[in-house]
Every structure is written in structure tokens, then in C-alpha cells.
Structure 1
């Protein structure tokens, strides 16, 4: 795949490698990797699609054998987003584990309206363009998030239709 001068290569993590990278990144930021934070990250990383705080609370509760309040999960997810361990899919109010937590970048999501799958892509040229446009408008961007709604390749191939847009 050709890369432009603005792109860089990400070290993608999975499984135990992802949890190790997340822990290392959080501790490097001066935060503690507690048992509860580890449980939340493990649950989040275990989802194949974006997960809500309620989904994560249910998974953590099932793993621990006791109910976990969603507000506790939200606090941890806020920390994870601020620390770059998780990415928030704004339009779905859901989260995905960042598979390269040591790399700061803007979020570009492709959101399938048919199956709910979210693909995170990196395009620093596009991200830099959005930041430049914001700055030109005398706006100081903090965290640009771009979400493209549509259908993924699998759903297109199956002929699945997107639900009608909500008003």
C-alpha cells in the first residue's frame, strides 16, 4: 500500500500484547492500572463491534459475578479516551479499544448502518486538512472526529440495505 509523506506505520496490538500496551501507556501517563480498569479494558477489547458502557458493565459484571454500575464504566472509559486507550464512536455512543495506544491521531470511522461494524482508518492528510480548515476559521481543534455512515463491503456484497436515515 502506498503511503504519503504524512502517514506513519502503526504497531497494531491484539490479545495480551494489546493489554500490555494499554497498561504501559496508561502508567506512562501517570495513571494506575487497577484491577477494575484492567477488567474494563479486557471487556472492551473483547467486543468485535463498538460497545456501550452498558454492554461493558454487563460483560465485566458477568466476569466478576456481581453487578457493575454503568456510571463506573463511563468514568473509566472517559479516562481511556483521554489516555488514548479507547476511541469513542460519537454517533453510536459506543467505544472501541485502540489497537495502537502509543500513537496519537485523529479518529476517522467508517460506520456500517446495516451490521453495525466500525472500521477505524488513519489518514493524516485528511486529518491535517480538517485541522487546518478549523484553524483557518479561527477555531482551535482539540480532537477531530470524522464518521462516515454507509454500508461495509460485506453488507454491500450481501445486498443488505441500510435502514432509512432517522430524522
Structure 2
């Protein structure tokens, strides 16, 4: 069962784009055309997408090569500003549908189809954060990923 210590609003479509733009500019960063393109491409994926997937798709749609390194830099900015989450085990990214809302997530990833779902359970991530702080670390950010089979793939 997911435990929410706070309320947050899930955004979609144009509302998600506007929330992302607002979050990025509130963080003192510029919302450029390329950043918007990367965000829109990432948001179009239901499963985690790699920087190479995004670069390839943008290269096709723009008619000119988009370098994966440029996409990586933008995705790293998105992770730092809470517009995207990185799925460490897949070296891929998911759009954050509630930009500006900071909390830890637990990702459950299907080993068969690649679907990733995030859960909020601050009992788990809070305990991990406390353990890191007890070990003398500051600004601890739990990254929790569980692997298994989703309901569709198990059927």
C-alpha cells in the first residue's frame, strides 16, 4: 500500500508541459526549444526511455542529428529539477507527472515488457534516508527499484 505524506497533483498533456516549464524556470533555468522537445518526447513514452531513444526520435522528427550527449545533459537537468526520474537499472528515464513535488519514489519495473510504475511509500524511503544520515551522509536521496512481472505479463 502506498503511503502519501503529502498531496500532489498528477499532470497530463498541456497541463504537464506548463507545470514542467514553470518548475524549470522557478529553478532559475531557461525553458528552451530543445528542452521542450526532449521533455515532450520523454512524456510521450509510457515506458522508461533512454537518451539514445529520445535522440533518435528527435533526429527523425527534426530531420537533423540530435546528439545523445546533448539529450543526456538535458535529462540530467530534468532529474536535478524534478521533471524526470532516472531508472538506474535500465539507464533510462521517466517523466515526472507531478513536477515541483519533491518526494522519494519506489519504482517497480517489469522484467518482460519494461513497464515501470512508481509507488510512494515514505515509510520505506524515510527509513533508508535516516540510515544514510545516521552513517554521516547529507542530502540523502533513496533510489529504490524492484524488478518483477506486471499483471499483464504474468497472465
Q: TM-score, normalised by structure 2?
A: 0.94
List alignment gaps of at least 5 residues for structure 2.
none
Match of 2:43 in 1: 45
Structure showing greater radius of gyration is: 1
Moved more, 24-33 or 62-71: 62-71
Q: Retained in 2: the 8 A contact 1:12–1:99?
A: yes
Match of 1:98 in 2: 96
SS in 2 for 1:77: helix
d(CA) in 1 for partners of 2:38 and 2:93?
Answer: 11
CA-based RMSD: 1.5
d(CA) in 1 for partners of 2:125 and 2:71?
Answer: 29
List alignment gaps of at least 5 residues for structure 1.
159-167
User: Would you identify which runs of 4 or more consecutive aligned residues in structure 1 move more than 6 Å?
Assistant: none
Match of 1:65 in 2: 63
2:117 pairs with 116, 119, 140, which one? 119
Match of 2:19 in 1: 21
SS in 1 for 2:118: strand
SS in 1 for 2:141: coil
Match of 1:139 in 2: 137
- Number of matched pairs: 155
d(CA) in 2 for partners of 1:151 and 1:77?
Answer: 27
The one of the two structures with greater contact order (alpha-carbon pairs below 8 A, sep at least 6) is 2
d(CA) in 1 for partners of 2:56 and 2:32?
Answer: 19
